[in-house]
Amino acid sequence: MKLKIKTILFLIIIFVPVILYGADIINENFEGGGTPAGWTNNGPVTWSITHANSPTHSESFAKVAWYLITPVLNYPAALTYWMYASAGASSFNIQYSTNAATWASLPGSPTATDYGGTFMQETFDLSSYNNIYIKFYRSGSKTYYLDDVVVTQRTAPDIVAVQAGPSLDDRTSFTSGAPFGYMAAGSDGQISFTWTNPTYSSVFYYEYNNTATGTIDGSESGTTDDYIDDFPVDVTNHYFHVRPRDGDGNGQWGTERVFIVEYILAPDKPSSLVQIGESGNQLASMQWTNSSTIISSFTQASDQLKFHLQVSSFSSFSPLFFETTSQLLSQGTTGYKWPALTDNGTYWWRVWSENSNGLTSSTSTELGSGGNAKLGFDCIPPAGISDLTALAGPVDGSITLKWTAPGDDGTAGSIAGGAYWVKYSTNPLGNETTFGTAATFTVQSTNTVTQQALSTNVTGLNPGTSYYFAVKFRDKITNNWASWSTGTFVNTLSSAAAQDLSPPAPAGLTATASNTQITLTWNAVSVFDLDHYQIYCDSQT
């Protein structure tokens, strides 16, 4: 069953060879006198100077049934020799044996049937034989002369090229003697090694364990040129061993290769993301600000981590407003000051960590307080109001104010979530230095369309008293206020006398006579600026 690995892993694979050495090569020119050491014959084979290929001596087969046998040949590759016989020679054989007792003709020997009185070279492939003896044997009437016998030993089978990776589709070439690493998402839970077969037919035995030294002895699983299997997921070292053996798994052992596989987990992603304006205030997700200075703050999970920070005015993060990568830092909270914002709009930001091995965490995009790591920037306040007009209001002691709505940015765009601020005084308001004693109030405005005609009633004023007014707007950013409407005295119609209506006649008037007096009663007139009542008395009706 395949493992499903959700964390990112880093695999460092280091090559460790286990060396095996092969047997010597036979190279005999018969110049040592008689039968060479280690060779055997049946006595009559003699050392000869009659005919020699090089330089002066050879072995002579003067009679029928004379022979010469080599020492045991461990994993031979090829046999070459030079042979001389007079014209008509046809009865010399090359035989082989694994025990120097039971012999069989070497297939294809000899290739020449008549040496024609000259030395000729013979060559045979021995790569399919293991631990054999070669017998040179005369069976006919001609005298033969043997010289310059060379038997090369097969090179031990070995891994020629190696690739490793988390899957068949994600492998990288391995360089001998140097660390080899790659990142793996590990979604398929597999590790894959592949290699190239050597020249000779070989079987590769492999084992995956926790042992650093050589362990392959032929009892393991065999394969041809690759290995794919599930692998454990932890932070300990594991070792993949592979060792070739030629002769279809029965011959000479080659070098055992050991690959150290070290699993290193990727870092956790940054946490506790905060976005801060230039006054040090924390900004909530998608909060608007006119602060051109923004700081991203966050906490990295461990030591020796660098962070990658990206900011964009597009949720796709393409193109980027800017990006930066830090040096390796200690664990804890860190931050980065953005380049100054100049263009109005929405800005998204994200951050991730990277360790010294090049492994990266997942990306953090959420604020610690909740919501996406993003904010709105608006550095252009609404325009100042230039047509503020004050008129007597509809009720006693009221004034109606009228003006044309500005835009979100100057005169452009509608204002959502804005407000307007009204100040008034019985003294002229020329600029903000004269506002100290002015009364004030603000009104929230949820949606204001630019160039829209607006009005508001100010009540509770002293009827008939003249008042001077000033108004300014802000947009969705709480401190993004326009200038006051009276800044340059352009709103010449922004003052008026509060409405002063005549009080109504008293109601419920009654008169009660008693002796020499008359008592009058009536309902009180409800007018806050009522000064007095006038009573008229006459004997005439």
Q: What is the CATH number of the domain that holds 102?
A: 2.60.120.200
In a domain, 44, yes or no: yes
pLDDT at 264: 62
Whether 11 contacts 263, CB under 8 Å: yes
3-class secondary structure, 363: coil
CATH code where residue 215 lies? 2.60.40
In a domain, 66, yes or no: yes
In a domain, 526, yes or no: no
In a domain, 304, yes or no: yes
Co-location of 305 and 417 in the same domain: no
pLDDT at 205: 77
pLDDT grade, residue 360 (50/70/90)?
A: confident
Co-location of 135 and 176 in the same domain: no
pLDDT at 520: 79
Co-location of 31 and 123 in the same domain: yes
Co-location of 227 and 278 in the same domain: no
Distance CA(344)–CA(356), nearest Å, equals 38
**pLDDT at residue 101 greater than cutoff 90:** yes
CATH code where residue 311 lies? 2.70.50.60
Residues forming beta bridges with residue 514, ordered by sequence position: 517
Co-location of 334 and 348 in the same domain: yes
Across 416-427, average pLDDT: 86
Whose structure tokens read 């990306």?
363
In a domain, 248, yes or no: yes
Element (H, E) at 249: helix 246-249
From the list 534, 458, 442, the residue with the least C-alpha distance to 499 is: 458
Across 14-23, average pLDDT: 43
Whose structure tokens read 């020499």?
516
Q: What is the pLDDT of residues 186-220, one digit of tens each?
A: 433 456 666 555 555 567 777 777 777 778 888 87
Element (H, E) at 248: helix 246-249
Co-location of 341 and 413 in the same domain: no
Query: Structure tokens of 103?
Result: 């012999």
Whether 395 contacts 425, CB under 8 Å: no
**pLDDT at residue 54 greater than cutoff 80:** yes
Residue 110's CB is within 10 A of a number of other CB atoms, namely 22
Co-location of 359 and 447 in the same domain: no
More confident residue, 42 or 457: 457
Co-location of 318 and 404 in the same domain: no
CATH code where residue 470 lies? 2.60.40.10
Across 408-432, average pLDDT: 81
**pLDDT at residue 80 greater than cutoff 50:** yes
pLDDT grade, residue 282 (50/70/90)?
A: very high
Query: Structure tokens of 166?
Result: 């988390």
Whether 375 contacts 347, CB under 8 Å: yes
In terms of residues, how long is the chain? Answer: 541
More confident residue, 4 or 249: 249
Across 61-90, average pLDDT: 88
Main-chain dihedrals φ then ψ at residue 247, nearest 5 degrees = 65, 40
Of the three residues 265, 295, 317, the one that is the final residue of a domain is 265
Express as a percent the part of the chain with pLDDT over 90: 30
How much is the pTM? Answer: 0.50
**pLDDT at residue 346 greater than cutoff 90:** yes
In a domain, 396, yes or no: yes
Mean pLDDT over each residue of the chain, to the nearest integer: 79
Lowest mean pLDDT among 41-45, 193-197, 423-427: 193-197
Of the three residues 249, 265, 281, the one that is the final residue of a domain is 265
Q: What is the pLDDT of residues 228-275, one digit of tens each?
A: 555 555 556 667 777 777 766 667 777 777 776 666 667 889 999 999
pLDDT grade, residue 157 (50/70/90)?
A: low
Co-location of 173 and 113 in the same domain: no
Lowest mean pLDDT among 30-34, 135-139, 420-424, 533-537: 533-537
Q: What is the pLDDT of residues 302-322, one digit of tens each?
A: 999 999 999 999 999 999 999
pLDDT grade, residue 181 (50/70/90)?
A: very low
pLDDT at 42: 83
Query: Structure tokens of 141?
Result: 């009437």
Across 106-127, average pLDDT: 82
pLDDT grade, residue 71 (50/70/90)?
A: very high
In a domain, 316, yes or no: yes
Residue 138 one-letter amino acid: R
Domain count, the chain: 4
In a domain, 475, yes or no: yes
Of the three residues 236, 265, 294, the one that is the final residue of a domain is 265
Lowest mean pLDDT among 127-136, 142-151, 200-209: 200-209
Q: Which domain holds residue 134?
A: 26-153
What lies within 8 Å, CB to CB, of 31 at 6+ separation is: 55, 56, 57
Across 405-418, average pLDDT: 82
Co-location of 367 and 470 in the same domain: no
Co-location of 17 and 30 in the same domain: no
Q: What is the pLDDT of residues 378-397, one digit of tens each?
A: 888 888 888 899 999 998 89
pLDDT grade, residue 335 (50/70/90)?
A: very high
Q: What is the pLDDT of residues 60-70, one digit of tens each?
A: 988 888 899 99
Co-location of 71 and 177 in the same domain: no
Query: Structure tokens of 44?
Result: 């009559």
pLDDT at 94: 92
DSSP 75-134: SEEEEEEEEEE-TT---EEEEEESSSSS-EEPTT--S-S--TTSEEEEEEE-TT--SBEE
Across 269-290, average pLDDT: 93
